[in-house]
Structure 1
Amino acid sequence: MLKRQVIGYDEVISEIEQDLLLLNIARSARGEPVHFTATSSIAATFDWTTTLDATGRLEDSSGTDFFNLNLGASASENPTFSLRPITGQDFTKRILVPFTDTAFHVLAYQAGAIDRVMRLMGFGFEFQNPDGSFVRLIENDPARPAEYEEFRRLAVHLRWLLDTRGLFVRSLVFEELMVHEFDAVPRSQDITAGFDKGLKWRQNPDGSYELRRFQSGRIVMTNYDPAALTDQERFELNEKIKRNPSGYVYVHLKPDGPGGEWPVQGAIWLRSMLQMLNFVAAGIGVAPEFDVAPDPRTGGRVAANPSATLKINVTDDAPAGNVAFARAGDRFYSVDDTPWNRAAFATLGDLFQSAVGEVEDVGIPITIAK
């Protein structure tokens, strides 16, 4: 019984999160403000009781024994749900602030299609000069057709490079110099304590010591292996990227590398949770997406490239089959039943989990007890 109930609660929470996503997409499409409520805790008390009674009576006259046997079992559960509306500063941090390049890095591999993640998370692409200065911006917005088409072609180009093992997506790792000349000999306990923190002492030719620390820096997408750069080059590249906000994903395609027929240098601007919901909602009617052919400079066969990043169907009746849907007003909003759209909705759900999955002190919770 316990196994069945725990799985049942998990399914309920999963359905609630899917409904919240679709409901807020519907709200955005209808011009209504979004609202999020997180299930911060679930507590359930299970009571399982069994009884067994056996009584006997011996009848001498008939030589027959009579026995009475009573079996009984009872079970009860008392679940308590704590709900917390996402408001105030927590709403700003979780819903309005763009995602970081780290979130993009994780999903680029787990979601299995970097173009799908880029189309969902990317607000636009900023082309930059070699020194990191601004050149121009293209938005991932069908309301700006020319810019939208270029963004889509770039997303497909990067997907093709990744599929053909020509794209590296990783964080920059380098040694950072913390102390250049230290005259005294480091103590053994300092050396030992530094191991766990990535610190490393090294003796210079003049007998002094320097202290270095391994650092994991910003995320890059390149058509060359960042590990092939010198440590100083990786450090300088990271310093240049650090001038951009954490919601930028740096992209550099050199002319002499794979896919270099289309040299690119710049950064993907990442969206916030609210911007992603608004983008999907706009695709329902205000600014629908459309087909975009791959760029001629993208060689070889490309993967699936549907017109919509995440297609939401709006119907008068509940959809048939096992698809996620929510009711808003008198209409039903459901995920289009294709592998691409199911995967895109799952990616949106992963981002929703990372944004509102852990809720701490954000006001007084609403507690529901059964």
Structure 2
Amino acid sequence: MLPWLLAWSSLILWPGCVSPVALHRAVLAYDEQVARVTREQLLLNIVRASDSHPIHFTSVPSVAATFLFQASAGITPPEGDARGLVAPLINATVAENPTITIVPIEGEEFTQRLLTPIEESRLLSLVSVGTDFNMLLRLTAASLRLFEAGEDRRISNDPSRPIGYQEFRRLVAHLAALHQEQHLHIQRVMAQPVWEGLVRGPLEPHDILQAIEKTYQWQSLPQSGAYQLTRSRLLVSNYPAGAVDLAQLTQLGKRAKEWPPNEILVDIRPGFPGGESPIQGTIQLRSFDSILRFLGVEMINNDGNVRRGHELSTNPARLLTIEKVDTRSHATVAVQYQGQLYAVSANTWDLEVFRLLYQLFQMTVKPIQAPVPGITIAK
């Protein structure tokens, strides 16, 4: 009788013991595979861009799995000389039925995520969590637009144009060194008017909060009784707020009043740390598509290293090294393309650059209207 009791008790408790273990393993396994798909798609599209092929992404917005745990028991009749003894039969199965939603990134989502320039708030978020400033600008900046003698001069971050690329690297290294020495200030200043008019009734609290969340603010104009909606912009400077006369900032703001929303104002002026090499202009941020194409161009164009007087700890000539390899065994990220295996270099700098690229891609994610089935666990 005791063996029967033990058998039945095991049968009853088995699903409850196994289901958490199965769920734990399934969640971690799905998480790793989705992350791996994203990593390999990033690398694949860099290689595609180096070959002048169009890029394409497919996202996995949801993974739902149904787990079915079944158990059954029975007995077998005695046979031969069993003397009337019966043998228990216990059968248990685990079935997993995953439902994976796969959505190609195309249409409006493709435009918003891949073709729209990165917002300045994204860059500020990455700087605030300690991202290497030199690495960040080399990856996200398309060019520097300098205000010189009443004219604008554009310096491209393009390895295929060596002269301009060298100058861009020198200027970015200068800014990064100031940031490393804690002499660079990144602050919101110089509000730009974007709308002005009459509003029916007083402003509601949610209107004010929504404006603040999007770096806008409302201002009342007592003379006309109207309201003005203004937007603050980022300023990268070598002086803290209040150290420069407001009239000078106002004049600079008038000069750059029409600069696009993907440009960040830079004002490195004499009289403050780093002022021996003044810079006045804007940093133009590029789209994610442009970032991938930049890395693709860099695969086939490489120039010498560029460093400033105060050398940075790391500043390799090539921002991200992608190698042709024979096996995946020692590669953190590798992908097959047209019969050749490509991998991200195992150097710490290259892995950090690729991690930053992954973060930027995740920051472009928009809500996807796709049918997502519920997750159920049946016993």
Output the amino acid matched with 1:85.
P
- Secondary structure in structure 2 of the residue aligned to 1:18: helix
- Give 2:306's match in structure 1, choosing from 292, 303, 318: 292
For residues 235 and 68 of structure 1, the distance between their equivalents in structure 2, rounded to whole angstroms, comes to: 92
Aligned residue type for 1:275:
S
Q: How large is the RMSD of aligned CA atoms in angstroms?
A: 4.0
What is residue 169 of structure 2 aligned with on the other side?
152
Cα shift at 1:16: 0.5
2:114 and 2:291 map into 1 onto residues whose CA distance is 10
**1:101, 1:282 → 2: CA distance?**
24
Residue 248 of structure 1 pairs with residue 257 of structure 2: no
Query: Which of residues 265, 287, 308 is equivalent to 2:318?
Result: 308
Partner of 1:30: 51
Q: Is the 8 A contact 2:115 2:287 kept in 1?
A: yes
Are residues 1:86 and 2:101 paired? no
Per the TM alignment, residue 109 of structure 1 is displaced from its structure 2 partner at its CA by: 3.5
Rounded Cα–Cα distance in structure 2 between residues aligned with 1:225 and 1:233 = 14
- How far apart are 1:79 and its partner, in Å? 1.3
1:142-221 to structure 2, matched below 5 A, reads 142-172=159-189, 196=209, 217-221=232-236
Q: Which residue in the other structure is 1:20 paired with?
A: 41
In 1, Cα distance between equivalents of 2:354 and 2:219: 48
CA contact (8 A) 1:152 1:292 kept: yes
* Residue correspondences, number: 340
Partners of 1:201 and 1:26 in 2: CA distance: 49
Unaligned stretches of 5+ residues in structure 1:
56-64, 181-186, 366-370
**Contact 1:174/1:234 (<8 A) preserved:** no
> C-alpha separation between the residues in 1 aligned to 2:253 and 2:285?
18
1:112 and 2:127 are equivalent in the alignment: no
Contact 1:46 1:75 survives alignment (8 Å): yes
Looking at structure 1, the residues matched to 167 and 85 of structure 2 have their Cα atoms a distance apart, in angstroms, of 89
Q: Is the 8 A contact 1:191 1:200 kept in 2?
A: no
Return the alpha-carbon distance in structure 2 between the equivalents of residues 361 and 236 of structure 1: 46
- d(CA) in 2 for partners of 1:175 and 1:23? 40
Unaligned runs of 5+ in 2: 1-21, 76-83, 373-379
| 1:309-324 paired onto structure 2 within 5 Å | 309-315=319-325, 317-324=326-333
Q: TM-score normalized by structure 2?
A: 0.75
Change in 2 beyond 3 A, CA 1:66/1:77: same
Residues 1:96 and 2:106 aligned together: no
Q: Deviations over 1:147-168 (max 9, x none)?
A: 1111111111111111111001
Gap change, CA 1:335 and 1:110, over 3 Å in 2: farther
TM-score (norm 1): 0.77
1:353 to 346, 362, 368: 362
